[in-house]
Amino acid sequence: MSASPGRASFDQRVVLYGVPWSQYEALLLTRGESAVPRMTYLDGALEFMSPSINHEQVKKTLARLIEAWADLLDLDLQGFGSWTVKAEREGRGAEADECYSLGGPDQPERPDLAIEVNWTRGGLDKLEVWRGLRVSEVWMWEDDRIDVFVLRGEAYVVSAGSELLPQMDLVLLASLARLRQRDALRALREHLRG
């Protein structure tokens, strides 16, 4: 997929260092409910990221595929989009591209699953941020594949598949992520009918 004329095909990032937690909180308040810039905070470093149209297309297609698959399997999957998850004591705050909770309360403390699209490399270590926020599983989409990281104690380990959603074929999801959303959903339905 190519970017539309006049639109950046790469994510734009700026990282500031030595930012106190209070300033991070004030910037979140100032930004309000706007989706951009996305902010990630890690021990005094604050990243501002404005996602490209390509980034947003991939993350939205993945979200629609995951939600359609969960619906067809009758899974209790609750989506929270790019919800701001933060913990002052741990010095961390992040907004996933998409995040989900499985079962449990309607308003959990943190998501069970965070999904990150790495369209443009660089910026803060998102896995380190999510580790400190104690998110059970992180999926990282990059270069048409999804890597799964599962929290074990104090560290993430690479997993061959999702432990939270083992029914989902992540190779298939990754292969459909750059298609037009309608085509991706149609291909998913055909695959599931089998």
| Token pair recorded at residue 58 | 């991939």
Tens digit of pLDDT for each residue in 108-118? Answer: 999 999 999 99
**pLDDT at res. 4:** 44
Cα-Cα-Cα-Cα dihedral sign, residues 16, 17, 23, 24: positive
HSE, CB side, 13 Å, CA atoms: give it for residue 23: 12
| Omega of the bond leading into 111 within 30 degrees of 0 (cis) | no
**How many degrees, rounded to 5, is the angle at CA 2 between CA 56 and CA 138?**
35
| CA separation for the pair 167, 143 (Å, rounded) | 22
Q: Environment class of residue 102 by beta-carbon count within 10 Å: exposed (0-12), middle (13-18) or buried (19+)?
A: middle
Tens digit of pLDDT for each residue in 121-153? Answer: 888 999 999 999 999 999 999 999 999 999 999
What are the CA-CA distances from residue 63 to residues 47, 48, 73, 77 (Å)?
23, 22, 15, 11
DSSP class of residue 108? -
Does 3.90.1570 match the CATH number of domain 52-193?
yes
| Token pair recorded at residue 99 | 């995040």
| CA separation for the pair 42, 19 (Å, rounded) | 10
| SS3 category, 28 | helix
Tens digit of pLDDT for each residue in 8-62? Answer: 588 889 999 999 999 999 999 999 888 789 999 999 999 999 999 999 999 999 9
Q: Please determine, for residue 7, whether its predicted confidence score (pLDDT) is greater than 60.
A: no
**pLDDT at res. 121:** 81
Q: Please determine, for residue 3, whether its predicted confidence score (pLDDT) is greater than 50.
A: no
Q: Determine if the pTM surpasses 0.85.
A: yes
